[in-house]
Amino acid sequence: MSSRYEKVRKFLEINQASANAWDITTSDPIRDILRMGLVFKKQTNSDGARYPYRLTDLFVDIEEYTYVAERLVNKTNTVWQQSPFVPGVQVPVIFGVTVTPVDFSFLNSAGTLQTNKALGFDRNAKAATIYESFDPQFGKVGPFNTHQYMRQEDHVVAYQAWTERVTALKTPKALLLVDNI
């Protein structure tokens, strides 16, 4: 596991060796989560003082979440209490890190599907802000501008919906991107 600070976009990046990917039966996601938390805690500013960040949340694809659950069952032979809100067995908080499965896909800026990734942060650090913009010339439905018109050549009605959003990292080193899990 190697880590670095991505200076342009201002986030911490951890790159696991692909030999330790969580889909390999000899991998140890529990140990990896513990080490991710340590890397997050050890960050220092230019004065050498540690940031007050703690890794509290790790968002992973449902597939990686399943691998974590499998390893927990294999290591402890424990069944966790079922949540009244979510059916099934829940993965507990691991070393202070809440592991959350996501049903959506991670995409890069070009829209290409990314696999074996995780996103982590300290929920108390408010690492990023999402800004959105709307064009007042067009309608607005939820987070989308909307427009409809009829094409004159074939009288087909076209419907358009778009959004303009950007995420700005406000707190350097308070966001973690993990590759090759």
Each residue's pLDDT tens digit, 84-138: 565 666 677 888 899 988 877 777 777 787 778 888 999 888 888 889 999 999 9
Each residue's pLDDT tens digit, 2-32: 777 766 667 778 887 777 788 888 888 888 9
Distance CA(35)–CA(21), nearest Å, equals: 14
DSSP codes of every residue in 115-171: -SEEEEE-TTT--EEEEEE--TTSEEETTEEEEEEE-TTT--EEEEEE-EEEEEE-S
DSSP letter assigned to residue 14 = E
Name the architecture of domain 2-131+167-179. Answer: 2-Layer Sandwich (3.30)
Q: In the chain, what are the domain boundaries?
A: 2-131+167-179, 134-161
